[in-house]
Amino acid sequence: MDNLSHLPDDLLLRILSLNTTKEAMATSLLSKRWRSLWTLVPGLSYDHSNHNGDYKSFTQFVYRSFLSNKAPILEHLHLSLGPDCPSVDIGLWINLALSRRVSELHIHIVIPYPKKVSVTLPSSMYTSENLQRLSLTNCVFLDGPVHVLLPSLKTLSLKTVTYTDNTSLQIFLSGCPNLEVLSVEDRYDGPPMDVIVVVPSLQRLHMSHGNIETRGTYVLDVPSLKSLEIRDSARCNFRQIENMPELVNARVCFGASSTHEFLKALTSVRRLTLTQPFTLKSELLHMKQVVNPCGIIFNQLVHLDLRTFAVGWWDLLICMLQYSPNLRFLKLIDVAIYFSDMDNPSGWKPPSSVPECLLHSVEAFEWFQYKGRQVDREMATYVLKNALRLKTATFSTRLTDMGEKCQMLKELESVATASPSAQILFD
């Protein structure tokens, strides 16, 4: 505490703002200097779990501390609330924060499974001139006809919210002309939902759809997008996907077979991760049924990550190598734990000609959790024997049997590499 006492008030206030308001208020007992310092903290953070489910005590504390706060501008309000917290109180707290020109608002409703409770938010939240960051979890989204105008909003996170209809998200986004970061995670048990994102200013987009039983439609028109992550366990359709000329990073995880048109919009990407979500073995599709890039040229692609647990990953890898002429970094990641019949898969054949990237650009090859299966050995050997500019090939394994591990390493070291300067490393 002696060390903290020498710090200026501005820095102490920043430190206090990292804690809940209850924790910040407790510091008033430390000394005379700390007695009123917590009232100047430029943010308020409340967690209902700190009050042992006593909502009367919790709401009284929120109102008391809210009215005691004397910060010139309230920078953020964080609310972590239980399902029994009245919507009227939540609305009043949000309105109090908005009247204080709050710029960051996080509303998290904690709902124990399988209970389903949604909290309606005040319409004033959708017309704030000062709000820059908004995060909603388990809330009703646009309950009824609401005018949306959030000119300062830069970051929006929507996690398992309840949409009143299929146009709610589209209506909301149309009122966010300067939005740069968007994250949308659907309810795992929710109905099918169309995701329509038409935001010219958007730079980062994360979408996750966890319900394998429901289907929806994607419409994306985001010409300024630089980073994209999509995780879709269902078989969603891509009705309209516009080009993304500014895209740099993309992570694509699909359980669908309708991704060819989508991949055509990723041709400007520099770093790409492709994978298939974990599912039951009986439900696995061949990887090229899921992600089929054939005929799509990835001229800008420099770094490719591929998860190797899905059936047919070897065919997808060869296809990606053939259509990525400037690839420099190749990383394979095997997270499979139970597909025993994949130990000796059949049907893989090397391409008739060596991919251009192996001859001219690939410098680094990494295989995380290498298992040494037949197809693994064949693929590793193919890369090592054909990558003329390879500098490093790094393999890591979780094998605990030292005999098996040594045998695996000897097999790799015995491969005659095409690049005389290539180093084979074991992590």
Residue-wise pLDDT tens digits, 154-210: 999 999 888 888 888 899 999 999 999 999 987 655 666 778 899 999 999 998 876
Whole-angstrom distance, CA of residue 105 vs CA of residue 76: 6
Q: Please check whether residues 314 and 335 belong to one and the same domain.
A: yes
Domain total of the chain: 2
Q: Please check whether residues 341 and 312 belong to one and the same domain.
A: yes
Whole-angstrom distance, CA of residue 158 vs CA of residue 185: 6
Residue-wise pLDDT tens digits, 62-109: 998 888 888 888 999 999 988 778 888 999 999 999 999 999 999 998
Amino acid at 208: S
Q: Please check whether residues 252 and 320 belong to one and the same domain.
A: no
Instruction: Give the number of other CB atoms < 10 A from CB of residue 187.
Output: 18
Query: Are 55 and 85 in contact, with CB atoms under 8 Å apart?
Result: yes
> Closest Cα partner for 99 from 65, 74, 67?
74
In a domain, 268, yes or no: yes
Residue 382 burial (CB < 10 Å; 0-12/13-18/19+)?
A: buried
Whole-angstrom distance, CA of residue 392 vs CA of residue 425: 7
Query: Are 162 and 141 in contact, with CB atoms under 8 Å apart?
Result: yes
Domain that residue 383 falls in:
297-426
In a domain, 218, yes or no: yes
Listed in sequence order, the residues at least 6 apart from 360 whose beta carbon sits closer than 8 Å to its beta carbon are 325, 388, 389
Token reading at 14: 């920043």
Q: Please check whether residues 190 and 212 belong to one and the same domain.
A: yes
Lowest mean per-residue pLDDT among 61-70, 247-256, 302-311, 397-406: 397-406
Whole-angstrom distance, CA of residue 187 vs CA of residue 130: 29
Q: Please check whether residues 267 and 303 belong to one and the same domain.
A: no
**The pLDDT of residue 211 is above 80:** no
Backbone angles phi and psi of 11, in degrees to 5: -70, -40
In a domain, 359, yes or no: yes
Among residues 254, 285, 316, which one ends one of the domains?
Answer: 285
What predicted TM-score, i.e. pTM, was given to this entire model? 0.85
Whole-angstrom distance, CA of residue 340 vs CA of residue 333: 17
Compute the mean pLDDT over every residue in the chain, rounded to the nearest whole number: 82
Residue-wise pLDDT tens digits, 321-333: 999 999 999 999 8
In a domain, 53, yes or no: no
Residue-wise pLDDT tens digits, 347-390: 567 888 999 999 999 999 999 988 888 888 888 999 999 999 99
